[in-house]
Amino acid sequence: MSSVEESRNEAPPYVPAHGLLRGRTAVITAAAGAGIGGATARRFLEEGAAVLIGDAHARRLKETETALAAEFGADRVASLPCDVTDEDQVRALFAYARRLHGGLDVVVNNAGLGGTATLVDMTDEQWNRVLDVTLNGTFRCTRAALRALKESGRGGVIVNNASVIGWRAQTGQAHYAAAKAGVMALTRCAALEAAEFGVRVNAVAPSLAMHPHLVKVTSEELLAELTAREAFGRHAEPWEVANVIVFLASGYSSYMTGETVSVSSQHP
């Protein structure tokens, strides 16, 4: 492998913060651990925001909160367990955000669930579970966020986590693809409704961001195949996706709403 090829396959240097979210408050779902949600929480803190993180995994959530608070200060990090399939827990998360900060500025709907099953073998339970977490969960949190942001009257931003699979076909991913395509459509419709009270709603669509959970639920063969499709010959680091979420949450994207931004180097 040439030095040029080696350089292409390496992740770039970590991007330093620029204070893009200084003074903002944010709610981030599915933010425990080392995936996109956890990377987004870290990037938001680096950019100056205070964050409330939620996740269905209470132990991992507390560990994440403790680690981030030790680094950025306990006054800027809080957590509350939240299963986005449970409406009561979703309402509690946003009520807690209002109690903590008197309101909120940014919401990142990161919660999602994948799986692999061909349609002829897929059960109703498999289909419904993926749709309930990935699409219905995003709906529940978007609804709660819009209610809170409309009431506050100070505008705000919602960023949803979609996927390039919402545009592209992949064997064994009908439930996940349908859910992510739904997230994109939900984003567009919510953006039109939210514009009247100064709220922007956008989405990111990653292709392949590697993290421990993905490795557990995906075969090495499929990961190798997906990586080979990427123009840079590597997967994205979760923080590279988080950087785009920061952009959409910041004033640099002030005229963008209803958009889904592909965070991908994948070719068809």
Alpha carbon distance 222, 84 (integer Å) = 28
One-letter amino acid for residue 220 of the chain: E
Nearest Cα residue to 41 out of 69, 11, 75: 69
Q: What is the DSSP letter of 54?
A: E
Question: Which residues are known catalytic residues?
Answer: 176
Greatest Cα pair distance, the chain, in angstroms, is: 57
Residue in the block written with tokens 């990653």: 206
Cα angle for residues 37, 186, 80 (degrees, 5° grid)? 35
Cα angle for residues 77, 163, 92 (degrees, 5° grid)? 35
Q: Is 195 helix (H, G, I), strand (E, B) or coil?
A: helix
Cα angle for residues 44, 214, 35 (degrees, 5° grid)? 10
What pairs with residue 205 in β-bridges? 262
Angle of helix 124-131 versus helix 174-194 axis, rounded to 10: 30
Q: Is 208 helix (H, G, I), strand (E, B) or coil?
A: coil
Residue in the block written with tokens 């964050």: 51
Alpha carbon distance 99, 161 (integer Å) = 26
In the sheet with 106-109, reading across from the earlier edge strand, the strands are: 77-81, 50-55, 25-28, 106-109, 156-161, 199-206, 260-263
